[in-house]
Amino acid sequence: MKAALLIIGSLFAVIFFSFVPKTSAQTASSPQFLITWKTSGSYVPPNYEDKALPTYGSEITASVQLFSQGQLLNLQNQTIYWYINNALIGGGVGVQQISFPPLGTPPSFFTLEVEIPSYNGNFLIHDVQIPMVNPTAVVYAPYPGGETSANPINVQALPYFFNITDPSKLSYAWQVNDQPGTNTENPENLQVTVPTNAPSGTPVNISLTVQNSQDSTMATADANLTYVTQL
């Protein structure tokens, strides 16, 4: 499982580094913004520890706080406006939290902006870049270097960022060396039995398609393994 998390982490490392909030020039006495957001309706496997990224059909909830000299500031009486790509999506007195669908067509970024027009007579504004992603799949094959002498060979499908709350809504289609492979009891797992007379160095090419039955979105992945008689 750690190997799969490293794979998916590397896929989105650029994204996570890219949506670090922009910081404008501030004096030592200027309040510091903290904008946080989370996504619902974007499925990730149970052992995934990073942030779920928004996809088409999911929802984002964002919050803002202000700090000054390490102290949390009271914004209950402050007018707060929220914008996506410069378009107003809501606001009002004390509106520190807002929920909204992601904007755009994945893969892309959009800008979430918070404006406090009169805090102690000052105009305050801050923004963050939020990614919108397509569903992704990984074939988790825990065999170092892609070589294994295990027979059967066990692999697992790991789906990410599908717009579901119930993982049973996902269907899995496997192929092994261009031939269908199935597991009726646990369709997200696959056992590949290598013929007993297979020579060392036999390629085992595994392809996967994961589809959301609710909206027909899908993702594909593959793993190219080599069966060896001795390691």
Give Cα separations from 132 to 47, 135, 165 (angstroms). Answer: 21, 10, 18
The pLDDT value recorded for residue 30 is 80
Average pLDDT over residues 95-110: 95
Q: Residues of the chain with pLDDT > 90: what percent?
A: 78
The pLDDT value recorded for residue 26 is 42
What are the tokens at 115?
């404006």
Q: Do domains 2-132 and 136-227 have the same CATH topology?
A: yes
Average pLDDT over residues 88-100: 98
Q: Is the pLDDT of residue 20 over 70?
A: no
Q: Residues of the chain with pLDDT > 70: what percent?
A: 87
| 53 compared with 3, residue with greater pLDDT | 53
Three-state DSSP state, 165: coil
Average pLDDT over residues 186-193: 94
CATH domain 136-227 topology: Immunoglobulin-like (2.60.40)
Burial classification of residue 187, based on how many CB atoms lie within 10 Å of its CB (0-12 exposed, 13-18 middle, 19 or more buried): middle
Q: What is the mean pLDDT of the chain?
A: 89
Class of domain 2-132: mainly beta
Confidence of residue 167 (pLDDT cuts 50, 70, 90): very high
Q: Is the pLDDT of residue 131 over 60?
A: yes
**DSSP conformational letter for 69:** T
Domain extents in the chain: 2-132, 136-227
Q: What residues pair up with 219 in beta bridges, in sequence order?
A: 210
The owner of tokens 């007993």 is 196
Q: Where are the alpha helices (DSSP H) in the chain?
A: 2-18
| Torsional sign, CA 143, 189, 201, 205 | negative
Q: Which residues of 136-154 are buried (b: 16+ CB within 10 A; e: fewer)?
A: bbbbbbebeeeebeeeebe
46-71 pLDDT tens trace: 989 999 999 999 999 999 999 999 99
